A and B are shown apart, each in its own frame.
Chain A
Amino acid sequence: MNELESGLRDISAIRSMMERASKFLSLSGLSGISAGVVALAGAWAAHLAVQQSGAHIPLQGEAGTGDAWLSRFLIADAISVLVVALACSTFFSVRMSRKKGYPLWGPTTMYLLAALMIPLAAGGTFCGILLVHGIYSLLPSVMLVFYGLALLNAGNFTFSEVRYLGVIDILLGLTAGFQPALGLILWAGGFGLLHIVYGILLYAKYEK
């Protein structure tokens, strides 16, 4: 059927154009994998530091017993993970947008960044609040929950699979809230392992 064929082709042109016009499609699976590896390294460093100092501060419930060295190390560790992970994912996104010929900087990029950054900025500030009050035990929980919310929100402006990652991170974060002793492990799972698994799936599906 001629009309059938051209109708099907029209529908698929409409669908792909709508997606291209409203979503940031240069997110690479390799970004996820590299961010996950960086997060695991950061979690491992945090684990070693906590062990070495002999304190249980960030893992146990008691507030404000932190020695200054450890809390400073953990903050520096977290910031390094964030910076390196962001740099890696930016690098792979730029590479992918070149390869696929999508514009890197356009309205869809701005939608995605706004969707991500607003919950993340709120979460970062809230982590600052916890630090000020010396409540280290809830940091992994808060990071996971706000990051999950950011991803849930961002899923509207990029591959929608990102939303599932967001929901799982929220659940992990809430679990970490109830079980602060598991905070670091859940954090490593949510930011490390999940990113790697998700990155591999995304890579296999969209980049081969």
Chain B
Amino acid sequence: MIRSIENLNKAFDNRIRLTIMSVLFVREEVDFNDLKKTLGVTDGNLATHIAVLERHKYLKVKKLFVGKKPRTTYAITESGSQAFAAHVDALEEVIRGGKK
């Protein structure tokens, strides 16, 4: 049990970062506003947590222009989805260990 707690990823111990990863895990590409609406958080809050995940290289940012409007989209990286899956496994182990 102690081992599985060590396996939990520090980058995902924040609920907002955890839910960002959950959304990116099931969607190919999500833009900022859509992510904001789905999570129900403020601009600044979301931007901060996205920056953390980007620093870990768990998500990649794509900036493009639709007409003159900038549109930023996010997608999970290979290492991001591996890290997220490992984190969920570790969570499961914690729960299983705790239930015994």
Name A residues whose Cβ lies closer than 8 Å to a Cβ of B.
1, 3-4, 7-8, 10-11, 13-14, 17-18, 20-22, 101, 103, 106-107
Contact = CB atoms under 8 A, between A and B. Distances in A.
A196 B18 CA distance: 39
A21 B94 contact: no
A13 B19 contact: yes
A107 B22 CA distance: 16
Interface-centre pick from B22, B95, B98 (highest chain A CB count, 10 A):
B22
Interface residues of B, number: 23
Given A4-B95, A4-B98, A21-B30, A13 B22 contact: yes
Contacts of B39: 17
Contacts of B91: 7, 10-11
Contacts of A107: 27, 30, 34
Contacts of B95: 4, 7-8, 11
B25 A18 contact: yes
Contacts of B15: 10, 13
Interface of B: 1, 5, 15, 18-19, 22-23, 25-27, 30, 34, 37-40, 88, 91-92, 94-95, 98-99
Contacts, number: 58
Nearest to A15: B22
Contacts of B18: 10, 13-14
Contact of A14 (B1, B37, B88): B88
Contacts of A11: 88, 91-92, 95
A14 B24 CA distance: 11
Enumerate the 9 nearest inter-chain pairs by beta-carbon distance, A residue then B residue, closest first: A4-B98, A17-B22, A21-B23, A7-B94, A22-B26, A17-B19, A1-B98, A14-B22, A18-B26
20 contacts: A3-B1, A3-B5, A3-B94, A3-B98, A4-B94, A7-B95, A11-B92, A11-B95, A13-B15, A13-B22, A17-B19, A17-B22, A18-B26, A20-B38, A21-B22, A21-B23, A21-B26, A22-B26, A106-B38, A107-B27
A102 to B, nearest CB: 9
A47 B28 CA distance: 48
B14 to A, nearest CB: 10
A20 B25 CA distance: 12
Contacts of A103: 34, 37-38
Contacts of B40: 101
B98 A21 contact: no
Contacts of A10: 15, 18, 91
A106 B88 contact: no
